[in-house]
Amino acid sequence: MARTDRGWSPDATDLEWIETTAGQPHPVLLEMEAVAGPEGIPILNRDSGRMLAILAAGRRRAVEVGTAIGYSTLWMALGQGDEGTIVTIDPDTARTARARAFWRNAGIADARISVVTAPALDAFAAAEPALEGPFDLAFIDALKPEYPGYLEAVRPRLAPGAVVVADNVLWSGRTSGARPARDGDGTPELREICRRLSEDPDFLTTILPIGDGLLVAVLRG
């Protein structure tokens, strides 16, 4: 542990110990990690995946914006258990076809995960039946400038007590101002979604400093 003015913050030894304690992820998650890096496919950080699985536990209906090859989807599906279902949105069929194969290899029944092949805002606006809700978990991980739009689309589809999770809210230091933002990179919109949820009395919100920043907001029941 390293001492900071806010108490103790974990150092490399602590992080290694946590990794040992957590155990190896499901072998299919490891396969996905192995292909994502070399192919430049952006997937969730492993620690954020573990957190997402915990948040998904006991939540029967989830919606995800941004599937890629289905890594975060699989963490959620494993966390939910056999009764859970997920609707996941991504316009990139090459990626979602690979996701489907990974989910099958992990033993997830096809019926548990539906893929909506469209840009998410279009799919929500078209009132795609699969997106009707109510959902008790929403995971947002697609285009950063569209995050406020995703939240707006998801909000009326949430069940009381639902949890909203959004990845990359630290945006490698750009959201806080630790690093400079670039025009159009989504930094103002990330600030906006964090502010909106934090100031909304209907939600209980925090930002976990794991991975690239995981926002977690629970809609009060």
Residues near ligand SAM (CB under 6 A): 42-44, 65-66, 68, 71-72, 89-92, 95, 119-120, 141-143
d(CA 82, CA 153): 27
Q: Are 133 and 157 in contact (CB under 8 A)?
A: yes
Q: Which is nearer to ligand SAM, 2 or 126 (CB)?
A: 126
Torsions phi, psi for 216 (to 5 deg): -130, 125
| CB nearer to ligand SAM: pick between 158 and 168 | 168
Question: Minimum Å distance from CB 140 to ligand SAM?
Answer: 9
Smallest separation, CB 16 to ligand SAM (Å):
23
How far apart are alpha carbons 96 and 81 in whole angstroms?
21
List, in order, residues 6 or more apart from 45 with CB less than 8 Å away: 210, 211, 212
Element (H, E) at 35: helix 27-39
Please, what is the minimum distance in Å from the beta carbon of residue 63 to ligand SAM? Answer: 11
Cβ of residue 44: shortest distance to ligand SAM, in angstroms?
3
* Nearer of residues 10 and 173 to ligand SAM, judged by Cβ: 173
Copy the structure tokens of residue 192. 């906006």
Nearer to ligand SAM, 66 or 213 (CB): 66
